[in-house]
Amino acid sequence: MTATQIAWRAFVAGALCLNAVLACASTLRVQVVDQNGAPVSDAVVYATPESGRLPAPKPGTAVIDQVKRMFVPHISVVQTGTAVTLPNKDNFEHDVYSFSPTKTFEVHLYHNTPANPVVFDKPGLVLMGCNIHDQMVAYLLVVDTPWFAKTDAKGVATIDNLPADSYKLTTWHERLQSANASVVQSVSTSAADSAARVTLTLKPE
């Protein structure tokens, strides 16, 4: 985009804002890098309004598969209240459990898709495993905000439909110094799209 196009886009977005508050939402693009400046994939980024005012929750559903003795995806992020189904795509049984205080559960030895999803009703980190296959590990981050994303292979997380406001931007990655650690910084968004950069100090793989 040229400078003129950017200016025009900001102007149009600003004009829309005068007409309807909802039109003020924009996209926040977050670049996550490590201490060496390398892009970090599979980081979770979420934005919480500094005011603490969140929209009424609209919890949805999510899926974490088990494929070839692995959880897919390995990292997930959902809004508090989300019902997560845990289909077993292997032709042998898994026994999925978590001892995490955020959600303690066990889905006993099963094939196919369990009848009942697991509802994650508290925010926090959930570490899941399988009682049969010790190498199976998945992380699920449960967050109180609808504005979250995971970084792609280029270390970029894109949060869409983010109303213009001041936010606490929290970033989590499984290789931070402790599992419950996160990096928090402030970011202000406007009617135009905005960008942020987050640097994480990660343990070696």
Q: What residues make contact with Cu ion under the rule CB under 5 A?
A: 94, 130, 132-133
Q: Give the residue with the Cβ less far from Cu ion, 58 or 68.
A: 68
Q: Which residue is nearest to Cu ion (CB)?
A: 130
To the nearest whole angstrom, how small is the minimum distance from the Cβ of residue 132 to Cu ion?
4
Q: Give the residue with the Cβ less far from Cu ion, 93 or 152.
A: 93
Contact 28, 187 (CB under 8 A): yes
To the nearest whole angstrom, how small is the minimum distance from the Cβ of residue 110 to Cu ion?
10
Q: Give the residue with the Cβ less far from Cu ion, 128 or 164.
A: 128
For the record, the structure tokens of 75 come out as 């990292």
Give the whole-angstrom CA distance, residue 75 versus residue 90.
19
For the record, the structure tokens of 44 come out as 């979770």
To the nearest whole angstrom, how small is the minimum distance from the Cβ of residue 146 to Cu ion?
32
Q: Give the residue with the Cβ less far from Cu ion, 69 or 168.
A: 69
Residue 2, classified by CB atoms within 10 Å of its CB into exposed (0-12), middle (13-18) or buried (19+), is exposed
Looking at the chain, the number of H-run helices and the number of E-run strands are 1, 17
To the nearest whole angstrom, how small is the minimum distance from the Cβ of residue 130 to Cu ion?
3
How many residues in the chain? Answer: 205
